[in-house]
Structure 1
Amino acid sequence: MALSSLCLGIQAQTIVKPAAKITRTSFAVITDTPTWQACADELQNYADVLAEEELPTFIVHHNWKSPEEVKKAIKNLHKKHNLEGVVLVGDIPVPMIRKAQHMTSAFKMDEEKYPFVDSSVPSDRFYDDFNLKFDFLKKDPEKPTFFYYELAADSPQQIKCDIYSARVKPVKNGEDPHKQIKKFFNKAVKEHQSGNKLDQFFSYTGEGSYSNSLTAWTQEALTIRQQMPGTFDSPTAPGRARFMRYNFSEYPKEDVMSMLRRDDLDLSIFHEHGMPERQYLSGTPEVEYADDAINLIKESMRDMARRCNGDSAKLADFSRKYTDMGFDSSWWAGYDKPEMIKADSLSDLRRGLVLADITETAPNSRMVIFDACYNGDFREPDNIAARYIFSDGKCVATFANSVNVLQDKQANELLGLLWLGSRVGHWAQETNILESHIIGDPTFRFAPSSDDIDITEILSRPYNENAELELLGTTHPDVRSLALHRLWRHGYKGLSPILLEIYRTSPVAMERYTAMSLLEKLGDANFDQILAEAINDPNEFIRRKAANWMGRVGHDEYVPVLVDAYFADNQSARVAFNIEMILRAFSDEAVDKALDGKSGELASKLRKAYAYRAESDATVLDKNANKTWRIAFTNSLRNNNIHASLPEYIALMEDSAEDEDVRIAMIKALAWYDKSYRRNEIMAACDRLRKSSGSSKAIKDEARRTYFRLK
């Protein structure tokens, strides 16, 4: 095939065409010319193995000058050859997205206060969602592959990827970048030819994930059993699912590394905290004896003393604080001694996986999902997710995040598609958010674990409404959920009542979650209605999301339901926390009525949590209050919508006598009220501001952005 390929020069781009006829869909490797010149054989071998899987593959190489060049090439291939996905290999421009934090799960960094490189989201949604619109800002003067864009004010405000995408970007691990790419594609080809089924599953939950809630943690085994039954087979069958928590041992790092080295491991999920260079596996271990506890406290206090960075004034304050608490300097003695620094550093390393550990471990888990912050930050010269695929192990695909993510983000929706033999890219295309990316091979797939359905055919065929509706009758729950996603993506008008019925009747937790989450995207009356039922769902994650979404909608009718759930389900720590946080969304009258007659510690906690609303409003609405604090409390409305105070917020927004910075902060914050039952009031006010001759350009720009965001 390599000999029969045709090379076409189009606007200085070279396209190596597949020899095989395109009957359904196609795929593309997008790379830079130096990488093609160094790795042509390996990339062509990869294209050949995809052709054997009936996925004809283009290879496009060029010395790319901008993301627009890359996107244009991708869109042309999609239009002419029904492209289903791409992998971006080597030195491909990185779109750095701004004004789109609502498309992330948690990222809320102040774009005006912090540098562009830190406060932007590196995201390939620029390439794989063709409908999103962006306004170019600038090229990074120090990082030539970084290009900054704002999401256009009138762009669609939801992600609906037209294709799937992935990155294979070498890291600084001491090895030649092109050699890394060669090795990766060689092992990717081997895995495509292995015929390996997904029957060995591993999940690890690190310290601090789910707030260490056992109620939240135990749910995953139940959902995996429903989605991938083959990983729960009998002892005589090969399949097995394993679940591990941070407190199964004092230092579980070695156990995790041993698990990742297993030659038969197929899929792993890490629920943890993370940074580009580290997976945080465990914290301070639980100990039984006093001497062990004392040593751990001393280690912690030495660390705090070092954080004074040699500043004598800070060190004196630190010493005074802990001396007043009954400690003396012996508790942090030796904090600045080289031998003690080394010993404490080694102790700290026992609590996480760092870059060098990944190389040493050489993970064999074919795919790894990181439900963690920053582990896939491809802005950095090195990152955890990329280390996995460039290791000597069998890992060929990871799914990771380029910035911080919501701790409670659901990573397991549609996971059964992988068990059925879906390509990783097809799975990710339905679950992506702005910051989530495949690092590695998006075309990788496990051999199907069921003979009664061809998931690849379903995922690669053109959308057909009747065919999707027929899939709702299949026995595989995640195939039914896939059909619901596709119906939503294509705007099927009869979807809402179907979702309502499925939520109420399905025994499968993740299918109920899919139904509820798609109703959330529709934002109609059925969504408002289902939340009061979902707060009592058997699945903890669904209860948690229902509480959060009630706060986003804001009907006072939710308050007694939430209060009852708080008292009935307080052992579910994350559900209780969400209720405490969102109760402030509602009116004084509704909360007072719901808490009337309630007493005890739980009632006291709720009243204390609700008092935040009065404190927040008192600062936000007081023109004489400190401006910095006014803006800070206003910004908090993004995460915690307060609906009962909207008339006052709108009045502040339209008050020409108000400080303009405070007004702009409020206009920005109200853009996050996209599920509010009162969003039409906000839109009307923004419409008046953007058309008003008395409004400044800054006010008009933000009002226009918020208007389209809510519309």
Structure 2
Amino acid sequence: MKKLILSFAWLFACSQLWAQARINKPGKQFPTAVAIVIDEQTYIRTQADVDAYKDMLETKEGISAYLIINRWNNPEEVKTILQQLRHEKPLLEGTVLIGNVPIPMIRNAQHMTTALKIDELKYDLYRSSVASDRFYDDSHLQFRFVSRDTKNPQLFYYELTETSPQVIQSDFYSARICPGPHPENQSVAISHFLKKAVAARVKKDALDHLLTFSGPAYNSESMSAWLDENDALKELFPLAYQSPYQHRHLNFRMEDHMKPRLLSELQRNNLDLAIFTNHGLAALQHVNSLSSTDDMDDVLGHMQLFIRSDFRRSVKRGQSPDAAIAALTKKYNITAAWFDNVIGNDSLRIADSLAIAGMDIVPADLAKIAVNPKVMIFNACDNGAYYEEQNMANSYVFNPGNTLVAHANTVNVLQDKWLHEQIGLLTYGVRAGVWAMRTNTLESQLIGDPTWSFTTSGQDLNKAILFDGTKLATWQAMLKSKDPNTQCLALSSIYQIQGKAAGDLLAKTFKTSLSPNVRMQCLALLANIGNDTYREILELALMDNYEMVRRKASDWIAKDGSDRFILPLVRNVIERPNDERIMYTNYKALALMNWDKVKAVVEAEVKAANFIYDKDAYLENWLQRIAKDKATAGKAIVNIRDRSQKDATRWAAIRSLRNGNYHLYVPTLIEVAKDKSETNQYRTGIIEALGWFSTSYQKDQILAACKAISEDTTNDESIVKEAIQTINRLTNWNLH
């Protein structure tokens, strides 16, 4: 009866919304549809161009298009209509959110991002939440409303519920076309962009011109990572490798001042795809490091850039200038006098005005040129923060050049992310949105037109992806293809159907495939299974020819913590010291294992390695590292248990477990989690931290403990909820 009442209530809400909103149904019927969602005021200002865009989808792309116009009061209104459309025909393949459509800010879901681990208790809602349209495009996820932002009424805060699925599986794609907070300028920019999107359909071409860039201080500046990435790209984008004039792979080391070169390359008329990997802020791309030729003005300018950005954000959120300065002087270890003298009263000026000596690309730079890649990929932090007044993704998309869609991140992103997952599907005419929804994280965001696709002379993979998801025979047949891109698509689709039962196929394919991209796909899928078959492949992957496979193997070994990996990790450190980023992840993994066993293996392997120069010093340095790792772990666990420590010290130690999964200490952590004499905050903090031990060899103990805690009715509700969420996180997870 309760379910029946809820169903009637939902249907009533739907009928009310359908009556309130203006819904223009598709003019033509095709197998799939896109929902164009727009606010009323924006539509009034841009009606002719929005209508032309809708017509283009139906006449040029063969997609039915809904146009949904309303004075939106909250995200639930949008979601309700989209979910209603999802259950109707034609199949809803995606949505385009134009103008002032409510922005969900998600909490209690940082495990669904690649890197974000900010303290939601310490920082305000705005800073510690993730702008994410997974609220709209993933119907499996369940949220509780928290509040509406008092400064920006477009922002609505929600927390992921403990009973919700804890991984992302989008039902359709979504993208934003929202260039800024000022209505007049916003409408002009939207109209210009929609005209550009419509005009682009007059003559579409193949994806055969490619630009990639790797910036400073990223992935440990590993040359082996950069070189192997270029080899992988040859498989993904074969048409771009027909001549050397069709692909350019730039590294920050190639120019003392890379910025002019990049701004030139971005203006090439035939450029189809650009992939930027670099550090960034919402309105900044970091493209050069400081060199011996840089003078002190450059250094100060660089510092000003980041400090000023923090200062402006703090003041914008309502903090007084004095309070903001006090916080920043502590954060950056600078004096108030330095702040006054170097930044002074000019602190609120936008970052564009800084003299940063060519180290960064900012929106003002792009305003001077026409940027022409049809698709932009921003492998950087914050570049897709579309709710900010300025962001890089918008600066490219709303430029007068040819850029139609950008894939970016609304918060920080993992440096070791497998960036190229199935991106080669773009070569085969797969729409940008269809590709993106297969690789969505909480922070990933499409800006611009998600329906854009390049031409292809081969099979229409859009239809296969959208309609054959559960048809095993389709994917088994596709797996026989010699093309790595379609093999990766087939393997991931088979895994979605079979789950753990696909483990043997994935392991066999990993062992036999000559494709680095296929092997990486197999490893990534096996990581979501986490069994002994996965561990066997994980050990092999540490010796793979592809640097990304080796790096992710090392990274994910840290999540497992089994002693079986100590020897291969140690040998990898000794044999491959030039893999800078893997050296980093190897040491990180070894720091989380049985330190005495690590010490014994290191001593034996270094002794056997006769080629090492000054072996005694080499060994001594390594043993000191191990001793430091052991002491750091010991201090953390002491701080967690010692009630005489300051609250801030204990809480910081608990928080550190998110990045440092000390597998040996799981029994101790469980003991603290069950201790009813501890505060609710500490107990929930420990339980939440244990939820990050995704594939730990100790996971069965964690699950058993959380089950007992969740069933104990004497526990506080917050503790029970956290235990339930940790169970769900450890039952179905996604390693990044």
Normalised TM-score (structure 1): 0.89
Offset at residue 512 of structure 1 (A)? 0.9
Distance 1:605 1:396, change over 3 A: farther
Partners of 1:596 and 1:220 in 2: CA distance: 34
Partners of 1:386 and 1:588 in 2: CA distance: 48
Q: Deviations over 1:159-191 (max 9, x none)?
A: 111111101012258962111111111101121
Distance 1:452 1:294, change over 3 A: closer
Partners of 2:182 and 2:627 in 1: CA distance: 51
Offset at residue 506 of structure 1 (A)? 1.4
1:565 aligns with 2:586: no
Partner residue of 1:233?
Answer: 242
Residue 367 of structure 2 aligns to a residue whose secondary structure is helix
Distance 1:514 1:54, change over 3 A: same
Partner residue of 1:4?
Answer: none
2:480 to 455, 473, 482: 473
2:394 to 386, 396, 403: 386
Residue 200 of structure 2 aligns to a residue whose secondary structure is helix
Distance 1:561 1:609, change over 3 A: farther
Partner residue of 1:325?
Answer: none
In structure 1, what residue type is equivalent to 2:26? P
Residue 585 of structure 1 aligns to a residue whose secondary structure is coil
Q: How does 1:357-376 map to 2 (within 5 A)?
A: 357-376=365-384
1:354 to 334, 357, 362: 362
Normalised TM-score (structure 2): 0.86
Offset at residue 518 of structure 1 (A)? 0.8
1:574 to 547, 566, 581: 581
In structure 2, what residue type is equivalent to 1:626? K
Q: How does 1:58-137 map to 2 (within 5 A)?
A: 58-81=66-89, 82-137=91-146
CA contact (8 A) 1:298 1:332 kept: no
Partners of 2:302 and 2:722 in 1: CA distance: 46
1:687 aligns with 2:707: yes
Partners of 2:191 and 2:61 in 1: CA distance: 21
Residue 105 of structure 2 aligns to a residue whose secondary structure is strand
Residue 447 of structure 2 aligns to a residue whose secondary structure is strand
Partner residue of 1:280?
Answer: 286
Residue 131 of structure 1 aligns to a residue whose secondary structure is coil
In structure 2, what residue type is equivalent to 1:220? E
Q: Structure 2: which 5+ residue stretches go unaligned?
A: 1-15, 312-320, 607-615, 732-736
Q: How does 1:370-449 map to 2 (within 5 A)?
A: 370-448=378-456
Partner residue of 2:12?
Answer: none
Partner residue of 1:271?
Answer: 277
Offset at residue 332 of structure 1 (A)? 13
Partner residue of 2:524?
Answer: 517
Partners of 1:122 and 1:298 in 2: CA distance: 32
Offset at residue 25 of structure 1 (A)? 1.4
Distance 1:261 1:700, change over 3 A: same
1:696 aligns with 2:705: no
In structure 1, what residue type is equivalent to 2:113? T
Offset at residue 21 of structure 1 (A)? 2.0
1:603 to 602, 606, 622: 622
Partner residue of 2:34?
Answer: 27
Partner residue of 2:462?
Answer: 456
Distance 1:242 1:605, change over 3 A: farther
In structure 2, what residue type is equivalent to 1:545? K
Partners of 2:369 and 2:585 in 1: CA distance: 38
CA contact (8 A) 2:115 2:414 kept: yes
1:530 aligns with 2:549: no
CA contact (8 A) 1:154 1:705 kept: yes
Residue 438 of structure 1 aligns to a residue whose secondary structure is strand
CA contact (8 A) 1:171 1:383 kept: no
Partners of 1:240 and 1:53 in 2: CA distance: 27
Partners of 1:333 and 1:529 in 2: CA distance: 58
Partner residue of 1:158?
Answer: 167
Distance 1:459 1:606, change over 3 A: same
Partners of 2:129 and 2:486 in 1: CA distance: 35
Residue identity (%)? 32
Offset at residue 108 of structure 1 (A)? 0.9
Partners of 2:642 and 2:77 in 1: CA distance: 50
Offset at residue 304 of structure 1 (A)? 12
Q: Deviations over 1:450-498 (max 9, x none)?
A: x343323323333211011111011221111112222233345641111
Distance 1:426 1:295, change over 3 A: closer
Q: How does 1:593-632 map to 2 (within 5 A)?
A: 593-597=600-604, 598=606, 600-601=617-618, 603-604=622-623, 606-608=625-627, 610-611=629-630, 612-632=632-652
Partners of 1:409 and 1:74 in 2: CA distance: 30
1:552 aligns with 2:559: yes
Distance 1:20 1:703, change over 3 A: same
CA contact (8 A) 2:475 2:490 kept: yes
CA contact (8 A) 1:95 1:124 kept: yes
2:726 to 695, 706, 709: 706
Q: Deviations over 1:296-325 (max 9, x none)?
A: 6787899999999999x99xx99xx99xxx
Q: How does 1:178-189 map to 2 (within 5 A)?
A: 178-189=187-198
CA contact (8 A) 2:114 2:441 kept: yes
Partner residue of 2:252?
Answer: 246
CA contact (8 A) 1:94 1:123 kept: yes
**Which region of structure 1 is more displaced relative to structure 2, 420-429 or 193-202?**
193-202
Partner residue of 2:591?
Answer: 584
Partners of 2:690 and 2:419 in 1: CA distance: 28
CA contact (8 A) 2:23 2:68 kept: yes
Q: How does 1:215-226 map to 2 (within 5 A)?
A: 215-226=224-235
Residue 694 of structure 2 aligns to a residue whose secondary structure is coil
Offset at residue 53 of structure 1 (A)? 2.2
Offset at residue 592 of structure 1 (A)? 3.1
Q: Deviations over 1:54-73 (max 9, x none)?
A: 21111111111221111111
Partners of 1:422 and 1:609 in 2: CA distance: 50
Q: Deviations over 1:501-536 (max 9, x none)?
A: 111111111111111111111222221221111011
Offset at residue 538 of structure 1 (A)? 1.0
1:500 to 487, 504, 507: 507
Offset at residue 600 of structure 1 (A)? 3.9
Q: Deviations over 1:650-703 (max 9, x none)?
A: 111112233443323211111111211221211221222222244233322322
Q: Deviations over 1:112-143 (max 9, x none)?
A: 11111111101001111111111112222332
Distance 1:297 1:200, change over 3 A: closer
Distance 1:141 1:57, change over 3 A: same
Distance 1:695 1:29, change over 3 A: same
Offset at residue 335 of structure 1 (A)? 5.3
CA contact (8 A) 2:298 2:356 kept: no
Total equivalences in the alignment: 681
Partners of 2:141 and 2:256 in 1: CA distance: 47
Partners of 1:511 and 1:240 in 2: CA distance: 24
Partners of 1:651 and 1:379 in 2: CA distance: 42
Partner residue of 2:686?
Answer: 666
CA contact (8 A) 2:352 2:364 kept: no
Distance 1:645 1:66, change over 3 A: same
1:196 aligns with 2:215: no
1:18 to 26, 29, 34: 26
CA contact (8 A) 1:398 1:438 kept: yes
Partners of 1:145 and 1:388 in 2: CA distance: 23
Offset at residue 192 of structure 1 (A)? 2.3
Distance 1:153 1:61, change over 3 A: same
In structure 1, what residue type is equivalent to 2:690? L
